[in-house]
Chains A and B, each alone.
Chain A
Amino acid sequence: MSAALILSALLAVAIGFAFLCATWPRAVDFHPYRAVVTALAVGVGLGITAVGLFGWLVLFGPPDRALMAVELAVLILLAGWINRAKGWRAPVVGTAKTGPPASALVDRIVVMAFVVTLACAAAAFVGLSVSRPHGAWDAWMNWNLRARMIFRAGTEWRVAFSPLIPWSHPDYPMLVQASVVRTWIYAGGETLLGPAMVAFLFTFGTAGLVVAALAALRDRTQGMLAGLILLATPFLIFHGTSQYGDVPVGFFFLATVVLLALHDRHREATGAFAILTGLTTGLAGWTKNEGLLFLAAVVLATLLTLPRAEGGRRCAREAGLFLLGLLPMLVLIAYFKLRFAPPNDLMSTFGAGETLARLTDPQRYLAVAKGYGREVATFGFNGLISAAPLLGAYGVCVGVCVGELRTRWFRMTVWIVALMLMGHAMVIIATSADAARLVNSSLDRLLLQLWPVIVLACFRVFRSPMRRAEPGKESALSAENVGA
């Protein structure tokens, strides 16, 4: 891999890291969350630089290597601002507390298994990318095709959104494609390593974020157990190498849910995590159209889980902070949709009469229900067992922490996943395409988008295996964490 490509990745992650450090609240100790921030920085950095590239295209035309200088300047500015305005020795108010580690033997076994699995998964990712350097079907029909059109067309880059090629989904948001174009600008020309590297960052960034978040919210063993399940889920790695937008959008779903957990834990001290939650929700919308459904799911889940005792003023303030983070992305998405994107091929089939007929056809509901059942039962099958039933069986074996189960964050996450699944079902039922065919061709990818969130939520509530502490204390500790 060329040094320029590695530089493009390092600079994006560094910008993401510096941005998160710059927005990190003074009231919350940064150190327990270093790994979380580093993992978040992968997606946030790629998101920010993709927005920058699109902005450059719109304002100045095709970017050249001056983009590198500008990005470096942004990084230096952010670093300077952190140094001067924030100061790194911020007062510590809400130090994160995590539960006691699992027994030393279990911890050692899990750490070893994690290291081996991480190495195997990374090797498989490289191997699969060598065998399929162009990715899979949608990569060359949509994601990388759009990147090629933008990169090759020069000043005529708008041709990438031509309504003459509706089958290529020119309405899809631009985060992945812009990230790929950015790698080519750094490399000084097209290289198949560019999209593969972007896919690698999102795939392993997702696993890293789950591990880091659970290590901070629970303990290291719990984080690595969750990471093991993710890295051993064949479809995550395999589909990561497909170079589609599903793994990246899944990263932003996960990032949002992690930030919601931080908000839930530190909301007494700061509202900064609500702003960042808005940003990552917006970045999900800038990655795939499903991100807009996710936005609706987050808003609805928040409303459905509002604590009754809380005043309207506080809720309005938090909603305002969320909107503050979301608004720039929402404006960008709206501008893209209105200025560049032709109508979505699924949504353009929405005629009122036909849609009503589809919505009242029980056969379509039955086909979708059957499809959901089948996909959930077989999701993550590795030749021995599927990942979803495995997760259930593991939960039955280790049990759950009642305290974690009762947190607002957990209820909100369950609502988000449920609303996403319901939303997908309604889109499939209401569209003109053959519902059964659409279920077969898309549901595994839709489940994959939510899989990291589901794994995170499950391992947040599962008991750590063979803990030294008495089982009853686990929920007490967790409840304490919530208000810390």
Chain B
Amino acid sequence: MMAATRSTLGVLLLLTYVAVSDARWVYRAGQGLLDAGKADSITSYERRYRELRQALPHQGVIGYIHGTEQFGTDEFKRFLLTEYALAPLVLINDTTPELIVGNFHPDSVPAAPPAPNLQLLRDFGDGVWLLRKAHR
């Protein structure tokens, strides 16, 4: 009798946990329905590079500048998403390659290339630049 009561308690405990999770799943499914048709943040971010991709070679190594002193989590995330968008190009976080992608925050786009040895090839808007090394 005691064992049966304990077993019932165990099953009830388990089913309570499951019921709470089910409620969460229903909520998540609803959120998904609401998000359907909207572009997620990464897809939107990738769109910034649509035109730039046409202007870049299909393969190779390209540089990257972001216009800020620090390279924290946010800057790293933007760098990763740029690589994700421009793959299979290999993106390195310096300006040694011939072509360099400038990825600036739209509110703080510099007036001129941030280094004297860089030449602006094209401004794609929304803080996306294509630069190259200036040959003297």
What's the Cα separation between A137 and B16 when bound, in Å? 32
* Chain A interface SS verdict (over half): helix
What's the Cα separation between A444 and B57 when bound, in Å? 40
Are A384 and B90 in touch, CB under 8 angstroms?
Answer: no
Are B32 and A127 in touch, CB under 8 angstroms?
Answer: yes
Stretch at the interface among B4-12, B106-114, B115-123, B125-133: B4-12
Are B22 and A116 in touch, CB under 8 angstroms?
Answer: yes
With A116-B22, A153-B59, A394-B13 known as contacts, the answer to whether A165 contacts B40 (CB < 8 A) is no
Q: A387 at interface (Cβ–Cβ under 8 A)? A: yes
Are B26 and A466 in touch, CB under 8 angstroms?
Answer: no
Are A129 and B32 in touch, CB under 8 angstroms?
Answer: yes
Cβ–Cβ < 8 Å partners of A165 in chain B: 83, 90-92
The 8 Å CB contact of A382, one of B21, B29, B43, B87, is B21
The 8 Å CB contact of B7, one of A150, A384, A390, A465, is A465
Q: How far is the CB of B59 from chain A (nearest CB, A)?
A: 5
The 8 Å CB contact of A471, one of B3, B30, B84, is B3
What's the Cα separation between A164 and B60 when bound, in Å? 11
Are A134 and B42 in touch, CB under 8 angstroms?
Answer: yes
Are B59 and A130 in touch, CB under 8 angstroms?
Answer: no
Q: B50 at interface (Cβ–Cβ under 8 A)? A: no
Are B31 and A131 in touch, CB under 8 angstroms?
Answer: yes
Are B84 and A140 in touch, CB under 8 angstroms?
Answer: yes
The 8 Å CB contact of A130, one of B16, B36, B77, is B36
The 8 Å CB contact of B88, one of A124, A152, A394, A465, is A152
Q: B124 at interface (Cβ–Cβ under 8 A)? A: no
Q: How far is the CB of A54 from chain B (nearest CB, A)?
A: 17
A412-469 interface with B by 8 A CB criterion: 463, 465-466
Are B42 and A128 in touch, CB under 8 angstroms?
Answer: no
What's the Cα separation between A121 and B88 when bound, in Å? 35
Are B16 and A384 in touch, CB under 8 angstroms?
Answer: yes
What's the Cα separation between A156 and B13 when bound, in Å? 55
* Chain B interface SS verdict (over half): helix
Q: B134 at interface (Cβ–Cβ under 8 A)? A: no
With A398-B7, A463-B7, A466-B4 known as contacts, the answer to whether A393 contacts B28 (CB < 8 A) is no
What's the Cα separation between A165 and B83 when bound, in Å? 10
Q: How far is the CB of A203 from chain B (nearest CB, A)?
A: 13
Q: How far is the CB of A318 from chain B (nearest CB, A)?
A: 37
Cβ–Cβ < 8 Å partners of A127 in chain B: 28-33, 35
The 8 Å CB contact of B8, one of A130, A131, A387, A466, is A466
With A126-B29, A140-B42, A164-B92 known as contacts, the answer to whether A120 contacts B35 (CB < 8 A) is no
The 8 Å CB contact of B24, one of A130, A150, A382, is A382
Cβ–Cβ < 8 Å partners of B43 in chain A: 133-134
Q: B55 at interface (Cβ–Cβ under 8 A)? A: no
Cβ–Cβ < 8 Å partners of A160 in chain B: 88
Q: How far is the CB of A433 from chain B (nearest CB, A)?
A: 15
What's the Cα separation between A120 and B35 when bound, in Å? 18
What's the Cα separation between A167 and B16 when bound, in Å? 42
Stretch at the interface among A224-232, A262-270, A309-317: A224-232
Cβ–Cβ < 8 Å partners of A109 in chain B: 11, 15
Q: A34 at interface (Cβ–Cβ under 8 A)? A: no
Instruction: List the A residue with the shortest CB-CB distance to B17.
Output: A390
Most chain B beta-carbon contacts within 10 A, residue among A130, A233, A237, A384: A130
Most chain B beta-carbon contacts within 10 A, residue among A117, A127, A132, A149: A127
What's the Cα separation between A156 and B60 when bound, in Å? 10
Cβ–Cβ < 8 Å partners of B28 in chain A: 123-124, 127-128
Cβ–Cβ < 8 Å partners of A128 in chain B: 28, 31-32
The proximity string for A residues 389-400 relative to B, scoring 1 for CB distances below 8 Å and 0 otherwise, is 010011111110
A374-389 interface with B by 8 A CB criterion: 382-385, 387
What's the Cα separation between A326 and B3 when bound, in Å? 45
Cβ–Cβ < 8 Å partners of B4 in chain A: 466
Are A159 and B90 in touch, CB under 8 angstroms?
Answer: yes
Q: A411 at interface (Cβ–Cβ under 8 A)? A: no
Q: A291 at interface (Cβ–Cβ under 8 A)? A: no
The proximity string for A residues 34-63 relative to B, scoring 1 for CB distances below 8 Å and 0 otherwise, is 000000000000000000000000000000
What's the Cα separation between A109 and B13 when bound, in Å? 14
Are A384 and B17 in touch, CB under 8 angstroms?
Answer: yes
B35-50 interface with A by 8 A CB criterion: 35-36, 40, 42-43
Are A145 and B22 in touch, CB under 8 angstroms?
Answer: no
Cβ–Cβ < 8 Å partners of B80 in chain A: 137, 140-141, 145, 167
What's the Cα separation between A149 and B36 when bound, in Å? 27
Known pairs A128-B31, A165-B91. 12 more at Cβ < 8 A?
A106-B11, A117-B22, A126-B29, A127-B28, A127-B35, A140-B81, A140-B84, A145-B83, A148-B87, A159-B90, A232-B18, A398-B6
Q: Which residues of B pack against A, CB within 8 Å?
A: 3-4, 6-11, 13-18, 20-22, 24-26, 28-33, 35-36, 40, 42-43, 59, 61, 77, 80-81, 83-84, 87-88, 90-92
Q: Which residues of A pack against B, CB within 8 Å?
A: 106, 109-110, 113, 116-117, 120-121, 123-124, 126-134, 137, 140-141, 144-145, 148-150, 152-153, 156, 159-160, 162, 164-165, 167-168, 225, 228-229, 231-234, 237, 382-385, 387, 390, 393-399, 463, 465-466, 471
29 CB < 8 A contacts A-B: A117-B22, A117-B25, A121-B25, A123-B28, A124-B29, A127-B32, A130-B33, A131-B32, A131-B35, A134-B42, A153-B59, A156-B88, A159-B90, A164-B61, A232-B20, A382-B20, A383-B20, A384-B16, A384-B20, A385-B17, A394-B14, A397-B9, A397-B11, A398-B6, A398-B7, A398-B10, A398-B11, A399-B6, A466-B8
